[in-house]
Structure 1
Amino acid sequence: MKGDQKSIHSDSTLSEDFESDSLPPPRYDQIYHASHDPETVEPGVEGPYHVRGDGRVDIDFNSSVIRAFAKCFPSAPDEDSQPAPPAYDTKRPFDPDTAPKLKWTIKLNILIQAVGSRGDIQPFIALGTELQRYGHRVRLATHDMFAAFVRKAGLEFYPIGGDPASLMAYMVKNPSLMPSIKTIMSGEIGRKRQMVAEMLSGCWNSCVQPDQLSGEPFVADAIIANPPSFAHVHCAQALGIPVHLMFTMPWTSTRSFPHPLANLTNVDESHAAANYMSYHVVELMTWQGLGDVINDWRETIELEPINFMDGPALAQMLKVPFTYCFSPGLVPKPKDWPEYVDVCGFFFRDAPAYSPEPGLVDFLAAGPPPVYIGFGSIVLDDPAKMLSTILGAVRASGVRAIISKGWSDLDGDASENIYYIGDCPHEWLFPRVAAVVHHGGAGTTACGLRNGRPTLVCPFFGDQPFWGHMIANAGAGPDPLPPRYMTVDTLAASIRFLMRRETALAAEVIAERIDREQGVQAAVTSFHKHLPLETMQCDLIPDQPAVWAIKSGRTQIKISKLAAEIAISQRSSLQKDLKIHKTKPMIIEPVRWDPVSGSTSAFMATTMDIGGCLTGMVTEPIKAYRDEKRRQDKSALSETSTETAQVAESSASIDTAASTKSRGKEPSAGSKAALAGAKSIGWLAPKAIKGMTVDIPLAMAEGFRTAPKLFGDEVRDHGKVTGAASGFTVGGKTFACGLYDGIAGLGIQPYKDYKKSGAVGIATGLGKGLAGLVTKPGAAIVGAWAYPTAGIAKSVRSAMYDKSRKLVETQRAAEGQWLAEQQRWTGSQVIALMEKFNELVSKKK
């Protein structure tokens, strides 16, 4: 941006557009190509991708690296294979009064995991409040500093750690996905990774730990999360429960437009394929920075590590439901997004009670509506310089302004035309201003557009440029003005553009569209729609979720926490029959495309594991020694503080002999270091044996099994290997079907292709048959060994690693006892429940 406003329409065009708001919103692919400014692409950049200063990524699709990556990721689905997305309804896209009611009677423990600034958390408060209206118990797990904000809204809160102010400061200094050399040298990368590790651990605790204030037990039955919380899919896998992602910007691969953080260069052939691929590249860059942190944390909750190539596409591979909380009036749902992806509209909370300070009321009444200027949770590098630029632009444009201090404390001397505010709800303030200037956070953007306020976005990183371009191309504001281009002149020109009548009319059109949408209600409907109702419902108490199962004959009875507690109180022998019931089992296996690459990657992984054990002889003792010394120092400091406080309160003697004796029994830092080294060596043989006898043969078998996909043939799905029994079942099916399909394919494939393509199909079918004659029997032979051994390995691992499972069992039992105490069933209710249980047992035998 150099001061000119390339997206400004002529006055006549604007007038024609505003005479009718019945037109559907423009497709984002049209908006993107119209707003993409080739002048902003940095020249002279070499390599497969280049991260720019504004956080966007230039991806060179002519590079050999990107071309190689393109072969490793899933290809874009055919648009015709997806159901057509709903057309934008110009009357009311979602009307809760007339929309068919989705019956949902199960009362769930819903955990919302959200990471980010206040603007990122606020939409989930609105969502949680709406979920409570369905009778759900809702816990919002986020940063510690938002405890009062969450609890004041009537939701349960659980702290996950992490400092959003520190994260914001880091992102402002490093708006791209890749950090600067200065940041690496300063140690900020290590601190950020440590913070992510802390939040991952906090997210897992939020799933299973009691409320920290009331002590009420809580185990999640379903998870809703924004993608940056990172723990969502993994927590859901450990618990065996559904997970649903919600986000404010496009994060699902589509051929319609590229990833909002990507600029595509050297796209010689299909723009659609390049658009689709851009999402995988951005995800890959994110995963390569945090994948090891996530895998280390997965080990603490006894989950196996995720393959490097599978991590970026995990949600897409597992078909995790996704709800986008932006307006379909701005970004309609692309045709190739699957049915489990919904675009529902912005999330708005109920306006909070607010009593403005008298000075603010007087300022608003003293003249024409002012312009709001604020950057919320952004931590600026040079607040004084930014404030000087803002004040100069306000004077040059001749407007009055309200300046929000925000996390950067933009504070100065008030005057006739300038007023400074602290924390003030946007829901109250924005209807009283003429226009808004902000950083482009999704929540702030939504509130401004909802109130029909012309908007200037000054983007720093993330999805902020995306929203700035969307607003500019709708005519409701000028082009985004990044802070690095902000001067008194450029900001003044942008503010003058905000004050034009045409800009105000465009903003009003958007406000009318948003007013017709009910984003929160639509998102709740989307969430309920994608839940596995049949597997979640308790067979004894229909309005409660099943978490336990009792096997009866060949089937099982699904039981809730309360039902189990009541049944056990009447028949204690049932305790030993209870098994964890997974309402949404999730099995993550490495994707294999062919036997060569599959076995090679498995061999490399095994080699790295062995190498890790050897280097761990040195690194693990050092790490263990450092961690233990740090823990002892903290413990000593804590004890000193406690003893000092006790002495200050009374003159009673303090006997510390017991605590000293207790400390003496603990292993020293040197002992723990030696134990860590021995443990690393002890893992050398097991990892080598597992790699050679399980991982490599399994990768080869899966490669043989899936290889026919490469030449357009169909592949049988024999199920997942979850234990020894299923391993033998899958191995047997693979052996029998592989031999049969390989031989029979020589005749069947030419016939099938002949019916599709005529005489030409005979040749192609024969080629498929010959290829299948190698791959399918190959899968049969290798799979006969690989799948049973993989199943046995999983059963052994499950028996050895049961700490997380036992934790879940203990917490669910505790919640069942608590529910029984809270509800206090009558004798007749207990008798009725047991009669129903006995009836189900007799039916299913």
Structure 2
Amino acid sequence: MRALIITFGTRGDVEPYLALAERLQSEGHEAVLCAPEAYRTEAARSGIGFAPAATRMHELVRDGMSTAAGPMDVARAARQMTAAMRDSLVEQWDAAQRVEPTIILSHPKALGGLHIAERLAIPFAASLPLPFLTPTGEFPIPFMTGRHSERWNRMTYQFNRFTAIAYGGMINRFRRRQLGLARESRFSDFLHRDGAAVPVLYPVSPAVVPRPHDYPESAHLTGYWFRAQGTAEALPDDVSAFLDGDGPVVYAGFGSMGFGRHAADRGRTVLEAVRAAGARAIVARGWGGLEAEQADDLLVIDEVPHELLFPRVSAVVHHGGSGTTAAGLRAGRPTLICPVLGDQPFWGERVRALGAGPEPLPLMKMRADSLTERLTDLIGNAAYAERAATIGEQISGEDGTGRAVQILEEIEAT
């Protein structure tokens, strides 16, 4: 098998696919990661192939998130990405022509994978670390929350047609000009190809999201895709020394979703709440999500591998990105999610429902008193720690990348 794996987004949208590519290589297959240039070095370190795509889109998202004052600024920045998206489609096609894959696996945000596979007449599988594409009556599309009827829940997945409606003109120009394919309807969806169901691989643990009873055979919850143990380097000395100090340590980081203009205010809020809760904190800056002044009871970091850091802290507080949520639960750590948008409220509700943490605290509503209350509960409630540890054991017993490789082998063989 020669797999072209196309993805785009923040680290949580890339790390699982890097893990899958590494596992494919270890199982004797070839794998090429097609992603923004920022991830080339990591791919090279892992010995897997790399093809750049969506680098400009990645830069626009990163710069927008680190300077935006709120969701409206992000929306305005998104309107500036049209040219970058067109370039990304061409870059994906260039990569496919160089790689000559026998199968393509693509994150839907990359847009081009399904159409390129059609042009090359090779198997295709969709994948994203969120149960977003496949309709179910058990919960609404994970950009929405609340309890609803099964019928209403299933209807919410019509949102997935938005991509074809919003980007249909761009996609059809790409199909016609680059791929030489006929146009397709703007009302098409991502789940069918020539009338057949498109396989979808969700790198999500069934221990966190039990498989819905009405999922079709084409939908697979494989378990999380983690890189092999020992891939990450050792923790920096200052981080290890801080962790060896007295008292509980809370990790706090809001990734790319904090909106940089308020980063210092959030840092002061976190420090005040952590102190009031009788703990210390390691604060991750992310893409402008948090900023704080270093202190005896607060360590400010840029990026540290979650697989090394999370097992050594008492609890984790974050925005609810799928990758960070997975890492915290895998480490068996009680979790408080402070969601902003997108799928983050979904993960916050899953953590609460699993008993691994308290009710989510939306980041925009976070104040020192409300965060102090949640942190005190998070650290002091032994039930959260016990439940998180149980879930962590279940996740650690899964082989998500191994199951994914098996499924891809079956898809290519048919």
TM-score by length of 1: 0.46
The 3 A distance-change label for structure 1 pair 337 and 183 is: closer
Normalized per residue, the structure richer in strand is: 2
Partner of residue 389 from structure 2, selected from 508, 512, 529? 508
1:363-762 mapped onto 2 (5 Å cutoff) = 363-378=242-257, 380-381=259-260, 382-408=262-288, 410-499=290-379, 500-533=381-414
Per-residue deviation, 1:314: 4.4
8 A contact 1:340–1:530 mirrored in 2: no
C-alpha separation between the residues in 2 aligned to 1:264 and 1:506?
23
Structure 1's 353 and 170: CA in aligned 2 closer, same or farther, altered over 3 A? Answer: closer
Give the corresponding residue for 2:41: 148
The structure carrying a bigger helix percent of its residues is: 1
- Tell me how far 1:409 sits from its aligned partner: 7.0
Q: Contact (CA 8 Å) 1:449, 1:511: kept in 2 or not?
A: yes
User: Partner residue of 2:140?
Assistant: 258
| Aligned residue type for 1:143 | P
Q: Helix, strand or coil: the match of 1:112?
A: strand
Distance 1:335 1:424, change over 3 A: same
- The reply to whether residue 331 of structure 1 matches residue 209 of structure 2 is yes
2:243 match: secondary structure? helix
Q: Is the 8 A contact 1:165 1:377 kept in 2?
A: no
Distance in 2 between residues matched to 1:320 and 1:134, nearest whole Å: 24
Relative to structure 1, the CA distance from residue 120 to residue 432 in structure 2 (aligned partners, 3 Å threshold; closer, same or farther) is same
**2:87 corresponds to which residue?**
198
In structure 2, the residue corresponding to 1:419 is in which secondary structure?
Answer: strand
TM-fit CA distance, 1:418: 0.6
Letter in 1 for 2:287: W
Q: Higher relative contact order at CA 8 Å, sep ≥6: structure 1 or structure 2? A: 2
Match of 2:161 among 279, 284, 297: 284
Amino acid at match of 2:35: T
Code of the aligned partner of 2:138: S
Cα distance in 1 for partners of 2:233, 2:248 equals: 19
**Is the Cα–Cα contact under 8 Å of residues 171 and 461 in structure 1 kept in the other structure?**
no
Cα displacement string for residues 788-818 of structure 1 (whole angstroms, at most 9, x for unaligned residues): xxxxxxxxxxxxxxxxxxxxxxxxxxxxxxx
SS at match of 2:412: coil
- Cα gap change, 1:528 to 1:169, in 2 (>3 Å): same
Residue range with higher mean Cα deviation, 370-379 or 115-124? 370-379
Q: Deviations over 1:329-373 (max 9, x none)?
A: 122222222212111111111232423333222211121241001
8 Å Cα contact 1:169-1:380 kept in structure 2: no
In 2, Cα distance between the equivalents of 1:485 and 1:239? 49
State the Cα distance separating 1:317 from its structure 2 match.
4.6
What is the alpha-carbon distance in structure 1 between the residues aligned to residue 189 and residue 102 of structure 2? 24
Counterparts of 1:156 and 1:312 in 2: how far apart (Å)?
27
> Quick one: percent identity of the two aligned structures?
34
Q: Measure the CA separation in 1 of the matches of 2:390 and 2:203.
A: 19
Contact 2:105 2:126 in 1 (8 A): yes
Q: Give the C-alpha shift of residue 316 in structure 1.
A: 9.7
Q: 2:223 maps to what in 1?
A: 345
**Is the 1:441–1:463 contact (alpha carbons within 8 Å) kept by the matching residues of 2?**
yes
**Which residue number corresponds to residue 111 of structure 1?**
4
Shift of 1:392: 1.7
| More moved, 163-172 vs 153-162 | 163-172
Q: 1:358 to 1:483 in 2, by over 3 A?
A: same
C-alpha separation between the residues in 2 aligned to 1:362 and 1:532? 51
Pairing partner for 2:123 from 225, 242, 256 = 242
* Structure 1 runs (4+) greater than 4 angstroms displaced: 168-176, 311-317
1:125 to 15, 18, 22: 18
Separation (CA, whole Å) in 1 of partners of 2:296 and 2:143? 41
Give, in whole Å, the separation in 2 of the partners of 1:465 and 1:175: 17
CA distance in 1, matches of 2:70, 2:91: 25
State the alpha-carbon separation in 1 of the partners of residues 69 and 193 from structure 2: 26
1:332 is aligned with what amino acid? P
Post-superposition offset of 1:264: 7.7
Aligned to 1:360: 239
Structure 1 CA distance for aligned equivalents of residues 162 and 408 of structure 2? 29
1:317–1:394 Cα change, 3 Å: farther
**Unaligned residue ranges in structure 1 (runs of 5+):** 1-107, 210-217, 534-845
User: What is the RMSD computed on CA atoms of the aligned residues?
Assistant: 2.4
Q: Which amino acid aligns with 1:456?
A: L
Encode CA deviations 1:172-200: one digit per residue, 9 max, x unaligned: 96988xxx5x777x6x3442222221211
User: Does the CA contact (< 8 Å) of 1:264 and 1:274 recur in 2?
Assistant: no
Letter aligned with residue 326 of structure 1: V
Select the structure of larger CA radius of gyration: 1
Q: Deviations over 1:462-510 (max 9, x none)?
A: 2211111100111111122221111111111111121121111111111
Q: For structure 2, which runs of at least 5 residues remain unmatched after alignment?
A: none
Task: Provide TM-score, normalisation by structure 2.
Answer: 0.91
Please tell me whether residue 164 in structure 1 is matched to residue 58 in structure 2. Answer: yes
| Preserved CA contact (<8 Å) 1:168 1:379 | no
Letter in 1 for 2:166: G
Tell me the SS of whatever aligns to 1:241: coil
Equivalent residue for 1:138? Answer: 31
How far did 1:261 drift?
1.5
* Alignment correspondent of 1:219: 100
Assess if the C-alpha contact under 8 Å between 1:227 and 1:245 holds in 2: yes
CA contact (8 A) 1:175 1:461 kept: no
Alpha-carbon distance between aligned partners in 2 of 1:317 and 1:147, rounded to the nearest angstrom = 36
Q: Report the Cα distance in structure 1 between the residues aligned to 2:140 and 2:305, rounded to whole angstroms.
A: 34
